[in-house]
Amino acid sequence: MPPSRRHDKSVYVRRRIAVVAILAVLVGIGTYSGIALTRPVPAAAAALSVPATVSNPAVPLAWPQSGHNGAIGAIGFDGVLADYGPQETTPMASITKTVTALVTLEAKPIAAGDTGPGIPLTVADQRIYQQVIAEGGSAAPVVPGAVFTQRQILEAMMLPSANNYSITLVNWAFGSMDAYLEAARAWLAEHGLNGTTIADSSGLNPGSASTPADLVTIGKLVLQNPVLKEIVAEQQAELPVIGTVHNTNLLLGQDGVIGLKTGTTDIAGACLLFAAELPVGASTVTVVGVVLGAPNHRVLAEEVTALLGTVGQAFHEVTPVAAGQDFGSYSSVWGDSASVVARESATVITWQDQPVTVKATADAIASGTDGEQVGTATISYNGGQQSVPLTLNGTIAEPDPFWRLTNPVG
């Protein structure tokens, strides 16, 4: 082959090799660029701080010195918060009428704002009145033929604590005392009130007895019934035949007291199931308590007043999370950063020295915008929980092409 032709072929081969090499490089660059520019970027984990546990000092409660036993609870708090004395089943006198009212209203409900049906009094009701007087129980007059609404009979039973009207009520609602007692025992079992026994509708029988813990629960149930909650808060009422009746609760309207029911017998002593709305910071806590076995209602009222003063101090308003509070930050490997903050404040009410703890969690993110939710702060207190969203304060943008191309591993 002539030298010129061999030279031309050699040049051609070298050029082919160069072109293929260049194309390979270009393909490689294109492939790498495509992968680098589109591959997922590494997500950044948040570096979170742990807020300190919050607790307040416990306040000694001024428990009555004369009562047999008692307990305190509150709406929104489970069970009993504190108690004193033997927590045994104890005669509860006319506090029994709260059970009578609740059981009757379950069988014969009254809508909020309604008065219920008219109930005519009979000669039998007059005989009940005379029998109660003979037994030495509290009673209110009866005139056969007079018509009371269901609510008015409840008022006669609850405000002046007329035993005879409790009997009239259950006879109307259930047909007989025995039928009522059967219904009441079923109701107690349904509500888990195993420390309570019911022997009559009025509480004159000492067999009508309860534990302080059960009575706190019963008091909460009274406040859940809108009709009964209104009645126990009434200072007085105008009733047919009887005229003006007054609430026997000496504390009603004082120190936040909004009810509930007194009771007095020689065996039970002076008893009070009470509810009070107590200011705690900018909030209000509804307390339900009971004291059984005081010597008289004057002493009982003084001691419950002192108790409520310390109970109010034993609740605390706590703000464990404030809006904008810093919980940590993100830092991306390409240099962006943003803090993690609480979107809103959370205020909780605690009892005594019960702790409030805050636990923060946040997702790992590759990017995010200002205000985007990335986690949650969970507040634990009083056996319950509350959550607050955690958001970005700042923006973590996607990395630019230069960073992607120059960080093959990421």
- Could you read off the pLDDT of 229-264 as tens digits, one per residue? 999 999 999 999 999 999 999 999 999 999 999 999
Write the CA distances from 22 to 10, 12, 34, 39, integer angstroms.
18, 15, 18, 25
- Find the distance separating the first CA and the last CA of the chain, reported in whole Å: 56
The pLDDT score that the predictor gives to residue 13 is 53
DSSP secondary-structure letter at 45?
P
Reduce the secondary structure of 318-355 to three states and give it as a string. EEEECCCCEEEEEECCCCCEEEEEECCCEEEEEECCCC
Res 67 pLDDT > 80: yes
Res 33 pLDDT > 90: no
DSSP secondary-structure letter at 116?
-
Alpha helices by DSSP H, 63-176 = 96-107, 123-135, 150-158, 163-174
Strands of the 69-74 sheet, one edge to the other: 82-84, 69-74, 283-294, 269-280, 257-265
Q: What is the pLDDT of residues 113-124, one digit of tens each?
A: 899 999 999 999
**pTM given for the model:** 0.84
CB 182 within 8 A of CB 237: no
Tell me the two tokens of residue 166: 């409790």
Q: What is the pLDDT of residues 154-202, one digit of tens each?
A: 999 999 999 999 999 999 999 999 999 999 999 999 999 999 999 999 9
Separation of alpha carbons 160 and 221, rounded Å? 21
79: left (phi over 0), alpha (psi -120 to 50) or beta: left
Separation of alpha carbons 338 and 329, rounded Å? 6
CB 25 within 8 A of CB 264: no
The pLDDT score that the predictor gives to residue 51 is 81
% residues pLDDT > 70 (the chain):
88
Beta bridge partners of 293: none
Strands 384-393 and 373-381: antiparallel
Separation of alpha carbons 231 and 152, rounded Å? 9
Residues in the chain: 410
Angle at 173 between CA 115 and CA 128, to 5 degrees: 100
CA proximity to 110, closest of 56, 59, 152: 152
Domain coordinates of the chain in residue numbers? 1-39, 47-55+320-406, 69-73+85-248
Per DSSP, the residues of 183-227 read HHHHHHHHTT-TT-B-SSSSS-STT-EE-HHHHHHHHHHHHHSHH
The pLDDT score that the predictor gives to residue 32 is 46
Identify the CATH number of the domain defined by range 69-73+85-248: 3.40.710.10
Alpha carbon 190 to chain centroid, angstroms:
21
CB 155 within 8 A of CB 247: no
CATH says 47-55+320-406 is which class? mainly beta
CA atoms within 13 A on the CB side of 121: 25
